[in-house]
């Protein structure tokens, strides 16, 4: 009897596991079957390297290079702002934080991770955008505060919980002996943490950064509200101008698009490009994790040999 229920439950779990795998497969099939034909119809180079996006013009143009760059810039800005803060916070929380403070800030970061992105977007629209416009608007002849900078700052804040949580876990996972060894050799607490612990947790921290990149590049709602959404080719120093990212391109134009048209296909194709981006990021993450495991295995082996 017991065995029967066990078997039954096992099947239930199997179905549950298959469901998510199937969902991924269906999404892949949908994206590629709808997107790839359009990409080939437009032309791979025209689509990926075209610098004009004019889907409803008399002679429509479907170049998404400005949006690919837009996504990269905004993400890079978010990493530049968010990662240093995130890593230092993680170090602080793992190694320097007094317990009473930890009990306060840990739930705060968990809460931060749960805030819907539209709320972040609203915050950006109401606080960051006007602030940027007030500060730099007249000096740099700006139209508004809806800029790459605004999107980067907002995303920099949004990736913090991801970066902090993963970096903290990995810093905590560094064996205590390393720290004790460093202190025994005369290093101060700070020196031991920054010169020994943090380098030892390097690959874990890298993984945190990679996941942060994934979060930033996939964010849609919040970016849409603050980025200005112009489809214009930008250079990195033009961070006081607006950009459109791959994600926002889809959400902005999906509402009014004629179904089955080439414009519709191009939006799905934009999704394909985004999907490939995310795929690369996930592969990177897996590679880093794999590397980490190998390393720790080797470390353990070395450890075993020396202790013998």
Q: Which is nearer to another protein, 255 or 304 (CB)?
A: 255
The length of the chain, given as a count of residues: 308
101-109, 129-137, 170-178, 204-212 -> range binding another protein (CB under 8 A): 129-137
Does residue number 143 form part of the binding site for another protein (CB under 8 A)?
Answer: yes
Does residue number 229 form part of the binding site for another protein (CB under 8 A)?
Answer: yes
**Phi-psi sector, 174: left (phi>0), alpha (psi -120 to 50), beta:** beta
Q: Which is nearer to another protein, 230 or 296 (CB)?
A: 230
Report the residue from 244, 247, 281, 288 that binds another protein according to the rule CB under 8 A. Answer: 244
38-46, 112-120, 199-207, 240-248 -> range binding another protein (CB under 8 A): 240-248
Does residue number 294 form part of the binding site for another protein (CB under 8 A)?
Answer: no
Report the residue from 33, 110, 144, 301 that binds another protein according to the rule CB under 8 A. Answer: 144
| Residue 43, both tokens | 């032309």
Q: How far is the CB of 151 from another protein (least distance, A)?
A: 13
Tell me the C-alpha distance between 288 and 143, whole Å: 42
Tell me the C-alpha to C-alpha distance, in Å, between residue 275 and each of 52, 84, 246, 267, 269.
22, 27, 10, 12, 9
Report the residue from 134, 177, 180, 291 that binds another protein according to the rule CB under 8 A. Answer: 134
Does residue number 258 form part of the binding site for another protein (CB under 8 A)?
Answer: yes
Does residue number 135 form part of the binding site for another protein (CB under 8 A)?
Answer: yes
Tell me the C-alpha distance between 11 and 2, whole Å: 14
Does residue number 138 form part of the binding site for another protein (CB under 8 A)?
Answer: yes
Its sign, for the CA torsion 187, 193, 195, 201, is positive
Three-class SS of 186-248: CCCHHHHHHHHHHHHCHHHHHHHHHHHHHHHHHCCHHHHHHCECCCCCCCCCCCCCCECCHHH
| Residue 31 parent element (H or E) | helix 2-42
Report the residue from 65, 142, 187, 221 that binds another protein according to the rule CB under 8 A. Answer: 142
52-60, 86-94, 99-107, 204-212 -> range binding another protein (CB under 8 A): 52-60
Tell me the C-alpha distance between 119 and 55, whole Å: 30
Report the residue from 253, 269, 270, 273 that binds another protein according to the rule CB under 8 A. Answer: 253
Q: Note whether 227 and 244 are within 8 A (CB).
A: yes
Report the residue from 56, 110, 188, 299 that binds another protein according to the rule CB under 8 A. Answer: 56
Does residue number 221 form part of the binding site for another protein (CB under 8 A)?
Answer: no
Report the residue from 204, 214, 218, 242 that binds another protein according to the rule CB under 8 A. Answer: 242
Its sign, for the CA torsion 235, 270, 37, 33, is positive
Binders of another protein in range 73-92 (CB under 8 A): none
Report the residue from 260, 304, 306, 307 that binds another protein according to the rule CB under 8 A. Answer: 260
CB atoms within 10 A of CB 147: 26
Residue showing tokens 């990149």 = 213
Q: How far is the CB of 118 from another protein (least distance, A)?
A: 13
Does residue number 119 form part of the binding site for another protein (CB under 8 A)?
Answer: no
Tell me the C-alpha distance between 245 and 98, whole Å: 41
Tell me the C-alpha distance between 257 and 139, whole Å: 38
Does residue number 115 form part of the binding site for another protein (CB under 8 A)?
Answer: no
Contact residues toward another protein (CB under 8 A) are 54-59, 125, 130, 133-139, 141-144, 146, 224, 228-232, 241-242, 244, 251-253, 255-260, 263
């Amino acid at each position: 009897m017991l065995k029967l229920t066990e078997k039954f439950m096992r099947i239930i779990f199997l179905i549950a596991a298959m469901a998510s795998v199937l969902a991924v497969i269906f999404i892949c099939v949908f994206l590629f079957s709808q997107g790839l034909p359009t990409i080939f119809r437009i032309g791979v180079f025209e689509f990926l390297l075209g610098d004009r996006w004019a889907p409803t013009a008399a002679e429509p143009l479907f170049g998404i290079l400005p949006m690919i760059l837009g996504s990269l810039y905004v993400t890079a800005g978010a990493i530049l702002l968010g990662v240093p803060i995130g890593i230092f916070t993680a170090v602080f929380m793992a190694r320097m934080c007094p317990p009473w403070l930890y009990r306060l800030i840990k739930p705060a970061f968990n809460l931060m991770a749960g805030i819907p992105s539209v709320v972040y977007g609203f915050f950006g629209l109401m606080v960051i955008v006007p602030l940027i416009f007030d500060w730099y608007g007249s000096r740099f002849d700006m139209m508004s505060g809806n800029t790459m900078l605004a999107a980067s700052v907002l995303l920099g804040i949004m990736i913090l919980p991801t970066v902090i949580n993963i970096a903290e876990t990995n810093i905590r996972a560094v064996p205590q002996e390393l720290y004790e060894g460093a202190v025994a050799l005369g290093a101060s607490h700070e020196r031991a943490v920054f010169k020994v612990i943090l380098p030892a947790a390097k690959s874990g921290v890298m993984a945190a950064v990679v996941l942060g990149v994934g979060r930033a590049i996939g964010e849609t709602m919040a970016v849409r509200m603050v980025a200005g959404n112009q489809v214009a080719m930008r250079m990195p120093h033009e961070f006081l101008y607006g950009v459109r990212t791959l994600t926002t391109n889809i959400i902005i134009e999906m509402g009014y698009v004629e179904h089955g048209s080439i414009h519709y296909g191009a939006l799905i194709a934009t999704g394909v490009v985004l999907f490939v981006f995310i795929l690369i990021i996930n592969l990177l993450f897996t590679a880093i994790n794999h590397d980490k495991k190998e390393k720790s295995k080797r470390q353990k082996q070395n450890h075993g040999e020396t202790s013998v």
